Structure 1
């Protein structure tokens, strides 16, 4: 089946589920590659049609994310105290003469909204960009209380049964796995959710149960056991068959390709077309990680490593991961003197629109694979520092060190730094 026309001749109905800003970005990259540009192209600089107050039609607030029928605008969270500013905005550059979408382009993006305020804020901005591309965005308060999952699933059942293709950003998500049991779609697409994509493909190839890498090796809890039949069903549905095609759209290295799975490279062409080139500063910037928050790396060791790296490379700005805690970031600001930046978009877009340092320092994470692609041709150098085994917590997964080393070792076009000595 072509990306635009279904088996019966009607436009292919594509339903995409995202739970993070990076997942939404990669759905836009996938749609761009397949020519699904939406039905309402951006009319000019600044992006999207707007009212006099700056809001878009169908938006619940100026610049806000779409509100579902009968819903209410989501209030923006109050600014956090302390040195946590956002990067200055840059007017989005559009492609001159952008043509209307082909009639067969039919993509509905469903945001399964998380509760974390930073993630919600970035998702609102990404939803704006998706609407700028003409795609429909449906915002679901999927975690808005005990009854929310039932309301969300009930409201999506009809769409799921009619969809010809389902795109998902996180096959490990219990929400997504549950939705997969409802759909009859013959085409399933997994877009990048960072380093987790590498583990998903490997587990699918080996026929293993789907479990996130930083939890692998740990004891299965009661919820895991209750949900095990749904997870097993999702793994079967994500296995190609005579009646089902599976595509993985990824910028990550894929070494164990499951039989029948199509792997498509994500080179961030949409990002490079729509943003930049950036203004490059002389200094260095650092990218934060949530390895402390996920229980993999010791907090004190991480702070010492950041301080040592920043001093050695003349770093002045620290781009926080959306999952980093406020307490940790305030401590980093106080003890290292770094300017802590809370990005309002995924880092690939922040870096591409600039300003950005000539060198970007990172620990093992998704960005060591994605930033070189997004910044291709700009002269920006991405340097990665390995995680020393002594930084790992006692509760870290036995696979943590090997997995993180693999993330660094498989990255292309990056400069490898020696592990930081914390003596």
Structure 2
């Protein structure tokens, strides 16, 4: 984070009674938390990171995402004191309350953390219902970009889903690189869409396919809630362990399985159309 930005926010952070944050794994957020003296911290996050955040907080472990496991280095060592301070401030204690607002299923919530469930009621009221067209849409993932899944395996899996389920559009993840997306368009015939709004709003506004296909990701939890009552089905394709790169974290298989296994109201499929 730019030094002048941190300096500019410092007085506000020190004087705030309540601070609301998004991604607790963000280094920028963790750095800013070291300046905070708030008695109430609220984490608002509907991402899969929320599940991991609660588990790590309960175990008292560093707030480092699963796909970064084992990537120690000078930068990580230099940032470690800030990360420890952020974790301490996100842990409930005397004079400090921690609340979580999320749609994600969380288990083993530490004592003192208050959880409020986000059910997407406002989204359903404000947008839609959408026009539903025949066929399927596919939601992309950044598992290749984060070094978890090999690109060739990913492209082959996407191609198989297109052939077996008739997917027409591919909603790209914001971190997917243009080279991979171009390859997907050429090799699968998919129309690549870069959403300019959260996918939950895109889906509610429509038109949207009767089936939404996804790999393990946040949307297998959020879209069933956002699309309640529309008749749209959400299907998730598990990640085959043979698709993982040699550099993937040992935690990858179990975490991805948890993302899929805890999703409610979704259908599990394979690349072969099962």
The alpha carbon displacement at 1:346 in A equals: 1.0
Give the equivalent residue in structure 1 for 2:203.
351
Q: Deviations over 1:221-242 (max 9, x none)?
A: 1111111111111111111012
Q: Which residue of 2 aligns with 1:381?
A: 233
Asked if structure 2 preserves the Cα contact closer than 8 Å seen for 1:388 and 1:420, the reply is no
Deviation (angstroms), 1:162: 2.2
Q: TM-score, normalised by structure 1?
A: 0.63
Q: Aligned partners of 2:246 and 2:124: how far apart in 1? A: 41
SS at structure 1 position matched to 2:54: helix
Cross-structure match for 2:102: 250
Residue in structure 1 matched with residue 30 of structure 2 by the alignment: 177
Question: Within 1, Cα distance between the matches of 2:166 and 2:220?
Answer: 20
In structure 1, the residue corresponding to 2:94 is in which secondary structure?
Answer: coil
- Is residue 213 of structure 1 aligned with residue 58 of structure 2? no
**Of 231, 249, 263, the match for 2:83:** 231
Q: Tell me the distance in 1 between the aligned counterparts of 2:104 and 2:67.
A: 18
What aligned pairs does 1:15-54 form with structure 2 within 5 A after superposition?
none
Query: Does structure 1 residue 337 correspond to structure 2 residue 189?
Result: yes
Are 2:204 and 1:361 equivalent residues in the alignment?
no
**Deviation of the 1:420 alpha carbon:** 2.4
Q: Is the 8 A contact 2:185 2:192 kept in 1?
A: yes
**8 Å contact kept, 1:169–1:193:** no
Mapped pair 1:301 → 2:160: no
Query: How many residues are paired up?
Result: 273
For 1:241 and 1:318, the matched residues in 2 are separated by: 45
Deviation at 1:176, TM superposition (A): 0.8
Relative to its length, the structure with more helix (as a share) is 2
Runs of 4+ in 1 over 4 A off after TM superposition: none
| Structure 1 residue 270, shift from structure 2 partner | 2.2
2:17 is aligned with 1:161: no
Residue equivalent to 1:32:
none
Whole-Å separation in 1 of the counterparts to 2:80 and 2:15: 27
Which runs of 5 or more structure 2 residues have no equivalent in the other structure?
Answer: none
Measured at CA, do residues 193 and 412 of structure 1 come closer, stay the same or move farther in structure 2, by a change above 3 Å?
closer
**Deviation of 1:173 (Å):** 1.2
1:190 pairs with 2:32 = no
User: How many Å apart are 1:160 and its aligned residue?
Assistant: 1.1
Post-superposition offset of 1:219? 4.1
Partners of 2:46 and 2:104 within 8 A in 1:
no
Q: Match of 1:270, SS?
A: helix
1:215 Cα deviation after fit: 1.4
**Separation in 1 of the partners of 2:120 and 2:95?**
30
Tell me how far 1:284 sits from its aligned partner: 0.6
Deviation at 1:355, TM superposition (A): 0.5
Asked if 2 retains the 8 angstrom alpha-carbon contact of 1:170 and 1:193, the reply is no
Report the Cα offset of residue 296 of structure 1.
0.2
Aligned residue for 1:412?
264
SS of aligned partner of 1:179: helix
Deviations 1:207-228 (A, max 9, x none): 1111101112x14111111111
Please name the residue that 1:83 is paired with.
none
- How far apart are residue 182 of structure 1 and its match? 1.1
